[in-house]
Structure 1
Amino acid sequence: MVLSNRVLRGVAAGEITLAFLRWPTPLVTAGAQLRTAVGLVRVTEVVQVEPEQITDEQAHRAGFSSAAGLRSSVDKHGRGRLHRLALRYDGPAEECPRPLVRLTPGERAAVDRRLARLDVSSPRGSWTRRVLDLLRARPGVRVQELAAEQNRPVSRCKVELWQLRELGLVEPARGGYRLTPRGVSYLDG
């Protein structure tokens, strides 16, 4: 799951308490704690909603001036059903250890399907497992190093890492990328 820097800064400042994202299937559940660029962000609620149900008050809590503006934004980003997330800032990331995550069989099957689609649609064939294994072996690897090792353009590697971030499997770390607890759980499964 990817929250924009604008949203993350707003959550950390206490100005944003909601986010609206489109997903084919929910990528987080209520109670999840996310390690982000601003620190730990807790997802306290995940509810599927219809765009017309968004109120101006909810839009303000999401950092928008109106419900119409928010609806316009979510229509441009993501695909799938619209979900409302209630968010809370839990403090700097250094204060808490990374949470353990255990994927349910349904969540694991959903990730399997999404990764299979990424592999099938890629001109180079299966790549997702190879990249996840590399990130497990070398947490914090920079995208430039990853691209050089695979003899691939940096821009293409960035797109692939973004796709894995969208699934909640990898995250930025120390100038590079590493597996999230969800990614570790997926590989351990």
Structure 2
Amino acid sequence: MLFKKVHLQGIKSGKITFAFRKWQKSSVKCGSLLHTSVGLVEIGKIETISENDITEQDAIQAGFTDKQQLLKSFTPNSKGTIFKISVSYHSADPRIKLREKMQLSEQGFTVLKKKLERLDNYSKQGYWTNKVLLTIKDNPNLHAIGIAKLTGFEKEWLKLNIRKLKNLGLTISHNVGYELSPLGNEYLRKQYFGK
């Protein structure tokens, strides 16, 4: 579930408390937390409603000037059910604190290494994690297409899997490209140079 930046700011400030989506079926669950650029957004009550049930106040609480603007936000000719979703700001993104770690204990290193080995072992691409981390380290702010060319991995697969590295606190995503986090650099230092 994606949000426009202006809506994320509204959710963080508490001005926006609803989101409306037109889907074949709900793609979020009540109680789930979504990683966004402003932090974690919590999904609350989800209900199906008709266009007629949407009020002007609902539209304002969803970040629109009026009901008409909200209805125009749905993809033209989109079919499906309208979902009214309660949203609220939960907390800062925990990955930020994690990725800023400059020190990595032996135990922390071992745990991280096992997680990366699991990603490698369950991938049809084979051992990819270190290859991608080293490519990002050597080419900071390079976009996914560039990393794909250097590594031989398909771009969309790569973007999805770099997100897994980000969830472990090892990479930072920018508007264009990626870089290793302090934790990512520390992990590679320990991996290749020991203490």
Provide the residue aligned with 1:10 in structure 2.
10
1:35-69, Cα deviation, whole Å (9 max, x unpaired): 11101110011112222221101000001111111
C-alpha distance in 1, partners of 2:78/2:124?
25
Contact 2:95–2:166 (8 Å) recurs in 1: no
Once the two structures are aligned, what percentage of the paired residues are identical? 22
CA RMSD of superposed structures (Å):
4.0
Provide the residue aligned with 2:54 in structure 1.
54
Contact 2:43–2:86 (8 Å) recurs in 1: yes
- Structure 1 residues not aligned, in runs of 5+: 99-128, 177-189
1:96-137, Cα deviation, whole Å (9 max, x unpaired): 999xxxxxxxxxxxxxxxxxxxxxxxxxxxxxx869x968x9
C-alpha distance in 2, partners of 1:49/1:130?
42
Show the 5 A alignment for 1:69-88. 69-76=69-76, 80-88=80-88
Per-residue deviation, 1:138 = 5.2
Change in 2 beyond 3 A, CA 1:26/1:170: farther
Provide the residue aligned with 1:94 in structure 2.
94
Per-residue deviation, 1:81 = 2.2
> Which residue identity does 1:54 align to in structure 2?
I
Tell me the secondary structure at the aligned position of residue 15 of structure 1: coil
Bigger-Rg structure (1/2): 2
C-alpha distance in 2, partners of 1:10/1:91?
14
Per-residue deviation, 1:146 = 4.5
- Structure 2 residues not aligned, in runs of 5+: 99-122, 137-142, 179-195
Provide the residue aligned with 1:147 in structure 2.
148
Runs of 4+ in 1 over 4 A off after TM superposition: 95-98, 169-173
Change in 2 beyond 3 A, CA 1:72/1:13: same
Tell me the secondary structure at the aligned position of residue 26 of structure 2: coil
TM-score w.r.t. length of structure 1: 0.55
